[in-house]
C-alpha cells in the first residue's frame, strides 16, 4: 500500500497539489521552477556592477578635473616659486640652494634665473649653494647659467659655492666654476672639459631603403656644410671643427681659467682639458674642485664663509600645475614635425658628457 501511495504522488499532473498523506513534499520537484529566477538575478547583478563601475570612473574623472581647476587658479593667483625648507633654522638667516639638475638647455637656464630672483628678493638670504647634478647640455644654456651666477656675485656681496652630486661634468662643471668654491660628494663624476658635435647622416636610409633622393639648392659651396643627406668630406669636418668646436672649446678653457685662477695655471688647465672625467678624489688632486663632502658639509662651509652660525636652508620649487602635468604627457608623444627633423639633422655642438 505504501508503494502505491508514493507512485500516485509522482503521477499527479504538474501544477496540481498532491494529496496530503502526512509526508514531506519531494524537494527536487519544489525547487525546479527557481532556475529562471536565478538567471534573472545574475543579469541584474551584472547590470548594477556596470553602473557602479561607471559611477566610480565618473567620480575619479570629476575629482581630477577639480584638482586641475584648483591648481590652475592657485598658480594664476600666486605666480612664482615656493620656498621649501630642507634644513630647519632661524628664519632671520637663510641659505638658498639653487638647483641645476638634468640636461642643461634654455628652459633650465630660465628656471635657474627665476630661482636666483627669488633669492635676491629675500633680504634674509645670506649665502647661496649651487646644487649641480648635470652631465651638461647646450653651449648657450650652460653659458647663460654661468653668466647668471657671475652677475649675482658681482652685484651681491654674498658667498656662493657649488655643491656637486652624482654627475657634474662638462656643462655641469662649466656652471660650477662661476662659484667661489666647489665641493663634491665622494662618488661625483666631474671634469669632461671639452666640446662634442654630432649629427645624423641619413643618405643610405633615404636613397637605398626608401628611394628618396634629396635635392639641395644653395648659394655657396659651404651653405649646407655639414649635410645629413651625404657623408661629410675631410674638408667639411675640418671646417666644422675650426668654426664651431674649437671656438667653443677655447671659451670653455677661458671660463675655467677665470673661475679657477687662484689654484690652476693655464698650463694645468690645458692638461686636464682633454674631455676626460674624474671622480672626486682625483678631481681634488687635479685642483678642479676644492673639497669632498655632502650637503651638510657644504652648508657648514658656506656658513663659515658668510660668518653665521645658524641658518635656515631653503630651496625654490615650482608649484604644482595641472597644465605642466599635461605638457609632460604631451612631450612623451613622439612628434615628427619640421622642428624635430631640424634638430635631428642639424649638427649639435654641446658641452655634454655623453657617458650619461
Give the span between the Cα atoms of 201 and 199, in whole angstroms: 7
**And the C-alpha cell for 142?**
650652460
170 given a catalytic annotation: yes
Which residue of the set 118, 134, 170, 192 is catalytic? Answer: 170
Identified catalytic residue from 218, 222, 223, 258:
223
As given in the structure block, the three cell numbers for residue 84 are 621649501
SS3 label, residue 312: strand
Reduced to 3 states (helix: H, G, I; strand: E, B; else coil), residue 51 is: helix
Q: Which residues contact 180 (CB under 8 A, 6 or more apart)?
A: 153, 159, 160, 161, 305
126 is catalytic: no
User: How many Cβ atoms are within 10 Å of 267's Cβ, its own excluded?
Assistant: 7
DSSP 87-107: E---TTSEEEEEEEESSB-HH
Q: Rounded to whole angstroms, how far apart are CA atoms 296 and 87?
A: 9
Return the active site residues. Answer: 170, 223
Amino acid at each position: 500500500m505504501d508503494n502505491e501511495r508514493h507512485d500516485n504522488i509522482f503521477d499527479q499532473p504538474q501544477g496540481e497539489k498532491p494529496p496530503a498523506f502526512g509526508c514531506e513534499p519531494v524537494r527536487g520537484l519544489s525547487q525546479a521552477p527557481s532556475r529562471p529566477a536565478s538567471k534573472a538575478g545574475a543579469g541584474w547583478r551584472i547590470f548594477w556592477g556596470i553602473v557602479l563601475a561607471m559611477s566610480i570612473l565618473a567620480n575619479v574623472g570629476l575629482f581630477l578635473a577639480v584638482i586641475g581647476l584648483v591648481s590652475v587658479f592657485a598658480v594664476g593667483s600666486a605666480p612664482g616659486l615656493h620656498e621649501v625648507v630642507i634644513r630647519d633654522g632661524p628664519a632671520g638667516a637663510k641659505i638658498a640652494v639653487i638647483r641645476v639638475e638634468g640636461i642643461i638647455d634654455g628652459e633650465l637656464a630660465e628656471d635657474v634665473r627665476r630661482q636666483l630672483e627669488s633669492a635676491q628678493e629675500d633680504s634674509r638670504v645670506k649665502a647661496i649653494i649651487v646644487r649641480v647634478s648635470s652631465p651638461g647640455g647646450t653651449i648657450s644654456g650652460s653659458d647663460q647659467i654661468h653668466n647668471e651666477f657671475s652677475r649675482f656675485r658681482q652685484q651681491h656681496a654674498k658667498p656662493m659655492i657649488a655643491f656637486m652630486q652624482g654627475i657634474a661634468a662638462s656643462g655641469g662643471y662649466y656652471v660650477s666654476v662661476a662659484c667661489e668654491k666647489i665641493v663634491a660628494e665622494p662618488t661625483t663624476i666631474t671634469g669632461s672639459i671639452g666640446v662634442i658635435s654630432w649629427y645624423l647622416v641619413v643618405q643610405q636610409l633615404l636613397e637605398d631603403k626608401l628611394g628618396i633622393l634629396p635635392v639641395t639648392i644653395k648659394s655657396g659651396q659651404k651653405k649646407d656644410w655639414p649635410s645629413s643627406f651625404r657623408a661629410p668630406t675631410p674638408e667639411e669636418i675640418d671646417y666644422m671643427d675650426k668654426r664651431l668646436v674649437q671656438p667653443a672649446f677655447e671659451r670653455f678653457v677661458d671660463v675655467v681659467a677665470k673661475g679657477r685662477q687662484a689654484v690652476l695655471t693655464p698650463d694645468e688647465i690645458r692638461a686636464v682639458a682633454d674631455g676626460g672625467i674624474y671622480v672626486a678624489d682625483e678631481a681634488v688632486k687635479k685642483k678642479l674642485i676644492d673639497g669632498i663632502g655632502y650637503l651638510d658639509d657644504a652648508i657648514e662651509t658656506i656658513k663659515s664663509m658668510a660668518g653665521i652660525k645658524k641658518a635656515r636652508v631653503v630651496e625654490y620649487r615650482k608649484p604644482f600645475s595641472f597644465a605642466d602635468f599635461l605638457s609632460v604627457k604631451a612631450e612623451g608623444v613622439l612628434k615628427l614635425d619640421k622642428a624635430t627633423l631640424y634638430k635631428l639633422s642639424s649638427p649639435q655642438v654641446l658641452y655634454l658628457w655623453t657617458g650619461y
